[in-house]
Structure formats: C-alpha cells, structure tokens
Amino acid sequence: MSAGTAVVSGASIAGLSAAFWLRRLGWQVTVIERAPEFRDGGQNIDVRGVAREVLVRMGLFDAVKARNTTETGAVIVDGNGQAIATLPDGGGTGATAELEILRGDLAGVLRDHLPEGVEFVYGDTIEDVSEHAGHARLTTAGGRELRCDLLVIAEGVRSTTRGRVFAQDTVEERELGVTMVFGTIPRVPGDDDRWRWYNAPGGRQAHLRPDPYGTTRTILSYSPGDDLLSMSRNEALAQVRSRYRGAGWETSRILDALETSQDVYIDQLAQIRMKTWHQGHVVMLGDAAWCVTPMGGGGASLALTSAYVLAAQLSAHSGDLAAALAAYERWMRPLVRDAQNMPGWLTRFAYPQSRAGLALRHVADRVFTSAPFRPLAAKLTQVAETERTLPTLRPTTG
Ligand SMILES: Cc1cc2nc3c(=O)[nH]c(=O)nc-3n(C[C@H](O)[C@H](O)[C@H](O)COP(=O)(O)OP(=O)(O)OC[C@H]3O[C@@H](n4cnc5c(N)ncnc54)[C@H](O)[C@@H]3O)c2cc1C
C-alpha cells in the first residue's frame, strides 16, 4: 500500500504507535482522541517478548528503559507484610520484567518521538463511518468530515467506533468478573522497591508497587467484581471500601489514600474477541481488537507489536490494502490467541473466596515458586513470545 491518508482513533499505546509508523512511512496521519487532552495517567505496564524488538526498531528502547519504574522483584505477602513466596524474576522475564514502565510514561515517550506532521484532534469522537470506492468517510461528534484511505481504531477495550463498523455478532465482550482499581498514593517508609502482593479471603487482592516519582502505585483487584463503571468516582470508591472491610494488611491505608488520589483508573476486566480485525478501509488495533486484560497480561506489548506489524504489511503489499490487512491479521492472531487462552480455573485460583481456599493457594504459591518449579512459573508471565521474526518494514513508494 503506498502512503495514503490515515485516521487513528485513540491516542494511547496502540494509537500513538500506529501514528508513529504510518507517519514514518509517509502517510498523512490524523489522531482523534476522546479525552480533552493527552492522557498521561495509568499504572505499571510492561514490555515483553517481541515488543522489545519493536521498541528497538522504533529507536525507543533506551528512552523506555530510562523511565523504568525501579521495581526489583515481586513477593506475595501475608497480613503482617511477611513474604510468603518470592515470584521468579527470570532475569527480567518473570513477574517484574526488564522493561517496567507506567502507562502514561510509555504513552509520553511515544508522543514525544512521533515524526513531524502528525495532526491531533482532542475531545472528539467518530460518530459515523461509511465505506466508499477507494476510501472511508467519517463524521465526528464535533462536526468534522474526514476522508481517509485507512481508519485505525485503537480506542481500547470500551471502543465505541468498533460497534459502528463491525456487526454485533462478530464481536464478543467476555466479562471475566474481576474489578480492578488502579491508583497513585503517597509513599511511606515501609514501601520498598518490590511489588508486594497480598491476598485476602473473599476474592480480594491488594498490590503496592514502586514508581520513579517518589509515590507508590496500588491496585485493588477483586472477584466477583462490581459494576463500578456506571458509578461516580465517590460511589465506586465507597463500594470498593465496603468490599474490603476487614481485608487487613495495608488495605485501609490504600483506601484512605485513593480518596484523594489524582490518578484513579477503574477497569472491569473483559476480553474482546473479534472474528475479524479488518473490514474495508478499517482496521482494529490493541485492546479495542483483542483486550487480553491484566490477567492475560501483555496488552501494551501486543499494542506496540500490532502497530509495527500493520505498518510492515502495508509497506509490503503496496497498493493492495485488503492483502495488507489480511497479512497483518494472520501475523497477529497466534500472539493474541496465546495471551487470551487462560485456563478456566485461573480466576478461582487467583481470587480464593474462603480462608481454606486461600490457605491452599498460599501452599501452591510456595510450591510453584520453589526452585524446581521456578522455570515453569516464569513461563506464565511470558507473553508476545514467538519464534517468528518480525516482518520487514519497506520504504514506501509513492
Ligand atoms: C488512562 C488509562 C490508564 C490505564 N491504566 C492502566 C493500568 O494502570 N494498568 C494496566 O494494565 N492497563 C492500563 N490501561 C490500559 C493499557 O494502556 C492497555 O491495556 C494497553 O496498553 C493497550 O493500549 P491501547 O492503546 O490498545 O488501549 P488504551 O490504553 O485503553 O487506550 C485507548 C485510548 O483511546 C481513547 N478512546 C476511547 N474511546 C475513544 C473514542 N470513541 N474515540 C477516540 N478515542 C477514544 C482513550 O481515551 C485512550 O486514550 C490504561 C489505559 C488508559 C487509557
């Protein structure tokens, strides 16, 4: 496909990566973002597997490494904060990856290194998409009329444009029944450079992780989850507080601090499964296409990889958009399938309800992280791994 005009909807990891590569190939790129300005929030994410090579090809490996969260390892703790099990670090491929970065920092690195000429529209969304011979036409809520050779939908798990383009029966939103609340809270002297993971009965987890800014990043995660997305922030936090009553460890401190945190992100985990990721002049990228959720892991790695693979296939199939999009999909499917195929028992194992279930889980944690099993445990954190080499990005003609 020779360089054309692209609209990218969503300015996070997938969308900014797509803008990066398409612009580098000479495309005219407009990014539309629903938020009124650049979103720099979000907590710990990691870059693994083949996405590491993508970062190298972008020339951004060092920039990402420089913003490392400073985390040195991960432990599961009991109610007194004592380590029950130490998760394998596998030399940077275990629970704490070689490249640990805050979502907003990764998005910031991508934005700051975009080639010249990418146009941004904030505070707008696509209202209508129609297919025409050789192009798509878009109308936005703000009244913009745009014509493009390619629309890239990178709007995350709750994408709205997805449903305007793809038939309902081609998109499955599989709720996992897990609620996660991410936030930034003040660091206290007991917070160290490890990821500390606590489990309480009633299917409740609490996590504390270091960041490079002198604050601490926290996650409260529980199952069965609640419908927090339909509530105001205060209502949602009150509901979480009631769920964590008597949970112990540092959960009271975390809940108190979340009340005043400037950076709270709430997610109800849902996998997205689509029969196809492309149609006409439209292609899906990142969580909007295949959200794997933090339980599957690797959302950022898949987002980074998908943008590169899309650009490489566009450059390889000059003049044939359909062939390029089909090749993109063929390349990405196995990676996504691996990340989405979680064993059916995983949620019950991760979120034990009874005290007896939790005690069993802690025995399993100890066994699984003991020397003979550590290589196996480390494998569980591997995502975006492939024996295949990345497709080559060819300079565009015309
Ligand atoms: C603010 C924020 C905080 C996050 N925090 C965490 C975290 O703490 N831990 C974690 O594991 N993952 C987090 N994530 C999700 C994580 O970024 C993704 O799983 C992964 O990086 C894949 O990124 P993505 O670009 O596909 O989707 P996302 O990162 O979800 O980005 C989607 C982007 O599209 C925009 N958007 C949504 N709808 C529309 C629309 N209709 N039109 C235009 N733009 C739209 C969103 O505002 C967002 O900028 C967060 C995402 C966001 C947006």
Q: Tokens for 133?
A: 């011979």
In which region does residue 286 sit, left (phi positive, over 0), alpha (psi from -120 to 50) or beta (all else)? left
CATH number assigned to the domain covering 5-69+100-173+271-340:
3.50.50.60
Q: DSSP readout, 154-219?
A: ---TT-SSHHHHS-GGGEEEEEEEEEEEEEEEE--TT--SEEEEEEETTTEEEEEEE-TTSEEEEE
Q: Across residues 12-24, what is the average pLDDT? A: 98
pLDDT recorded at residue 398:
47
The domain segmentation of the chain, as residue ranges, is: 5-69+100-173+271-340
Q: Which residues have any ligand 1 atom within 6 Å of their CB?
A: 9-15, 32-35, 39, 41-43, 45, 103, 125, 154-156, 159-161, 182, 265, 286-288, 294, 299-300, 303
pLDDT recorded at residue 382:
65
Ligand 1: which atom is nearest the Cα of residue 155? 34
The residue whose C-alpha atom lies closest to atom 9 belonging to ligand 1 is: 43
Name the residue of 31, 155, 233 to mutate for ligand 1: max ligand atoms within 8 A of Cβ: 155
| Per-residue model confidence as pLDDT tens digits over 150-202 | 999 999 999 999 999 999 999 999 999 999 999 999 999 999 899 999 999 99
Name the residue of 31, 48, 54, 103 to mutate for ligand 1: max ligand atoms within 8 A of Cβ: 103
pLDDT band with cut points at 50, 70 and 90 for residue 227: very high
Ligand 1: which atom is nearest the Cα of residue 39? 1
Q: Which distant-in-sequence residues (6+ apart) come within 8 Å of 126 by Cβ?
A: 7, 9, 32, 138, 139, 140, 141, 151, 160, 161, 164
* Partners of 86 in the β-ladder: 75
Q: What percent of the chain has pLDDT over 70?
A: 93
| Per-residue model confidence as pLDDT tens digits over 325-378 | 999 999 999 999 988 887 777 888 889 999 998 988 888 878 777 766 566 555
Mean pLDDT of the chain: 91
Ligand 1: which atom is nearest the Cα of residue 293? 19
Residue 147 clears pLDDT 90, i.e. is over it = yes
| Per-residue model confidence as pLDDT tens digits over 107-140 | 999 999 999 999 999 999 999 999 999 999 999 9
Spacing, Cα 78 to ligand 1 middle (Å): 32
The residue whose C-alpha atom lies closest to atom 30 belonging to ligand 1 is: 156
| Per-residue model confidence as pLDDT tens digits over 278-313 | 999 999 999 999 999 887 778 999 999 999 999 999
| Per-residue model confidence as pLDDT tens digits over 59-69 | 999 999 999 98
